[in-house]
Homo-oligomer: A and B are copies of this chain.
Amino acid sequence: MSTHHSEVGRTYRGADPQQRQQERRVRLLDAAVEVFGTTGYRTATVEKVCSEAGLTKRYFYESFTNSEDLLMATYARATDAMRQNILAGAAAEADSTEQVLRAALTGFFTFVAENPKSARIAFVEILGVSSTVDALYRKTTTSFSETVLQVAEGVGSSRGLAGPNRRTLAMGLVGAVLTIAQQWLLSPEREPLDSVIASAHTILAAVVFGRVDG
């Protein structure tokens, strides 16, 4: 492909222009996590994020349309990481069904504890911005119920999530875990992470391993 070298552009300090643009994009995302995740999205400006990133606005518009676009990108990156942590946790404990659920939850809550600014974006700042952002939030929340079903199917005896209402149940479990994480994040005196994981585990395990009604 060397005949098309001009399309790739000149390299500079070992990185081609696309790589350098990608690096600037990541710097802006990191700066946005800092700004949106501490003082909040509502009072944030493109200027503030650029100043935090040490980049001019020209570089901002190279990667993002506006502040809302950047918010959605930070949200997508945070929720992707949460999902990876859930699945990696579950995959690391394939032996016992109880342990798979607990490890998946530990993966999720550890990310929240270690990345409180990204978590604040995902649980608080993303809400009520615009109908476009709302739609992304709902789509992502729904996709997490698929992740719950995927983890539950991975464990052997997930009879509680095998019925026709499995999607609604999974959505309820996502809501339970999200709300516990959100309230934990926002509470001034946080209870120990182990204790929060245990509560989330109690709810998931009760449903996944199936309590028969009536």
Contact = CB atoms under 8 A, between A and B. Distances in A.
Interface of A: 40, 42, 98, 124-131, 134, 138, 141-142, 160, 165, 168-169, 171-180, 182-184, 186, 191, 195-196, 198-203, 205-207, 209-211, 213-214
B172 A142 contact: no
Nearest to A209: B211
A211 to B, nearest CB: 4
A98 B172 contact: no
Contact of A203 (B40, B180, B191, B207): B207
**Among A172, A196, A198, A214, residue most surrounded by chain B Cβ atoms (within 10 Å):** A172
Consensus secondary structure, chain A interface: helix
Given A211-B209, A213-B201, A213-B205, A175 B168 contact: no
Contacts of A172: 176-177, 179-180, 199-200, 203
A175 B180 contact: yes
Given A98-B214, A125-B128, A214-B98, A183 B203 contact: no
A196 to B, nearest CB: 6
Contacts of A199: 165, 168-169, 172
A188 B92 CA distance: 38
A205 B211 contact: yes
Contact of A175 (B131, B138, B142, B176): B176
